[in-house]
């Protein structure tokens, strides 16, 4: 994937770049949901070359989560979000970096705001396929659990709190 | 909230160049020393050994004779 408009690239495709030496390379780490259930594994990192930051974690979702999403008996408080059908082979989804926390000691990623049923309901894509800005918006709406979420245009999209990764080190943090 | 930064990889070619120069210098000195050692051991051909110098005009003094003024 190489989207020049959004400046999103898979780190693996940028041969001249690597994870900065002071940061964890989380590729291959398990991803756990809010209930500490393993939902998948980090397959790729989607980065912005200009800001030199990871924007999304690309996760290969466990088959158990995928099957849960196909459950025909699943009740449906959130069925309104289900305006799509994930197809066979579509087993990847993205998580905005600001919605993830890293347990560097035990080498896993935690998503405290997202549970496994949300992961199961979220629109996925096939490994290696490109996704568009609309997909990013759909994913964020799904994680927020709000299908009527306000429209945020592309210019401000990555300024939302789900992408805010500057607080951990105190940069731009008025509280510190 | 996680934060992961990326950075440009440092180019490898300066290290390759440094290693190549070091290896080149090592080879140069090894070859040079081997040549010198060979030169010391093997005598040079056509070497002319100078004979002892024999003076051509030697004057012998007869000490048995006495000179009277």
Spatial CA neighbour of A95 closest among A58, A61, A132? A58
A55 interfacial to chain B (CB closer than 8 Å): no
Convert the pLDDT of each residue in A11-59 to its tens digit.
Answer: 999 989 999 999 999 999 999 999 999 999 999 999 998 899 999 999 9
Say whether pLDDT at A71 is over 60: no
CA distance A101 to A103: 7
pLDDT digit string, tens, across residues A114-151: 999 999 989 898 888 888 888 998 899 899 887 666 67
pLDDT, tens digit (0-9, with 9 covering 90-100), for B2-61: 889 999 998 888 899 999 999 999 999 999 887 777 777 666 666 666 666 566 666 667
Question: What pTM was computed for the model?
Answer: 0.69
Residues of A within 8 A of B1 (CB-CB) are 97-101, 164-165, 167-168
User: Contact A53/B3, CB-based, under 8 Å?
Assistant: yes
Query: Which SS3 state, helix, strand or coil, does residue B5 take?
Result: strand
- How many angstroms separate the CA atoms of A127 and A12, rounded? 13
Backbone angles phi, psi at B18, to 5 degrees: -60, -45
Find how far residue A11's CA is from the centre of its chain: 15
What does each C-alpha distance from A154 to A46, A52, A159 come to in angstroms?
Answer: 17, 19, 10
Q: Which of B3, B6, B7 sits opposite A169 (nearest CB)?
A: B3
Nearest chain B residue to A10 by CA: give it: B6
Cα–Cα dist A79/B24, whole Å: 71
Inter-chain CB proximity B1 and A100 less than 8 Å: yes
A16 to chain B: which residues are within 8 Å by CB?
8-9
Q: Which residues of A touch B7 (CB under 8 A)?
A: 17-21, 52
In terms of Cβ atoms closer than 10 Å to its own Cβ (0-12, 13-18, 19+), residue A140 is buried
The partner residue sitting opposite B3, judged by closest CB among A14, A109, A168, is: A168
Q: Who has greater pLDDT, B27 or A175?
A: B27
- Please report, to the nearest 10 degrees, the dihedral formed by the alpha carbons of residues B32, B33, B38, B39 taken in order: 70
With contact defined as beta carbons under 8 Å apart, do A148 and A137 qualify?
no
Q: What is the ipTM of this complex?
A: 0.76
Distance CA A29, CA A101 (A): 12
Average pLDDT across chain A, whole number: 82
Q: What gap in Å lies between CA A131 and CA A122, rounded to an integer?
A: 14
Nearest to A43 by CA among A113, A123, A109: A109
Do β-strands B6-8 and A108-110 pair in parallel, antiparallel, or remain unpaired? Answer: unpaired
Q: How far is CA B45 from the centre of its chain?
A: 19
Residues of A in contact with B12 (CB under 8 A): none
**DSSP H/E element including B33:** helix B13-41
- Asked if the Cβ–Cβ distance from A109 to B2 is below 8 Å, we say yes
Q: Mind telling me how many Å the CA of A47 is from chain B's nearest CA?
A: 8
Q: State whether residue B51 sits within 8 Å of chain A by CB.
A: no
Q: Do A24 and B4 make contact, defined as CB atoms within 8 angstroms?
A: yes
* Distance between CA atoms of residues B9 and B15, nearest Å: 13
Taking phi over 0 as left and psi of -120 to 50 as alpha, with beta for the rest, A165 belongs to alpha
Cβ of residue A152 closer than 8 Å to a chain B Cβ: no
Strand partners of residue A102: A109
Neighboring chain B residues of A58 at a CB cutoff of 8 Å: none
């Amino acid at each position: 994937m190489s989207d020049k408009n959004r400046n999103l690239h898979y780190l693996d495709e940028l041969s001249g770049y690597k994870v900065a030496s002071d940061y964890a390379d989380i590729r291959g780490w398990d991803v756990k949901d809010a209930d500490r259930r393993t939902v998948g594994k980090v397959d790729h990192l989607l980065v912005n070359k200009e800001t030199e930051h990871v924007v999304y974690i690309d996760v290969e979702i466990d088959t158990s989560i995928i099957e849960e999403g196909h459950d025909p008996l699943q009740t449906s408080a959130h069925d309104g979000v289900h305006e799509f059908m994930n197809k066979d082979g579509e087993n990847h989804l993205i998580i905005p970096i600001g919605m993830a926390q890293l347990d560097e000691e035990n080498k896993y990623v935690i998503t405290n705001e997202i549970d496994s049923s949300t992961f199961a309901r979220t629109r996925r894509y096939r490994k290696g396929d490109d996704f568009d800005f609309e997909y990013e918006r759909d994913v964020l709406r799904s994680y927020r659990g709000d299908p009527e979420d306000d429209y945020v245009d592309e210019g401000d999209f990555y300024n939302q709190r789900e992408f805010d990764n500057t607080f951990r080190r105190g940069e731009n943090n008025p509280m510190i | 909230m996680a934060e992961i930064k990326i950075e440009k990889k440092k180019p490898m070619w300066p290290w390759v160049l440094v290693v190549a120069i070091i290896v080149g210098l090592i080879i140069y000195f090894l070859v040079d020393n081997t040549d010198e050692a060979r030169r010391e051991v093997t005598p040079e051909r056509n070497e002319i050994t100078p004979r002892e110098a024999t003076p051509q005009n030697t004057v012998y003094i007869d000490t048995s004779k006495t000179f009277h003024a």
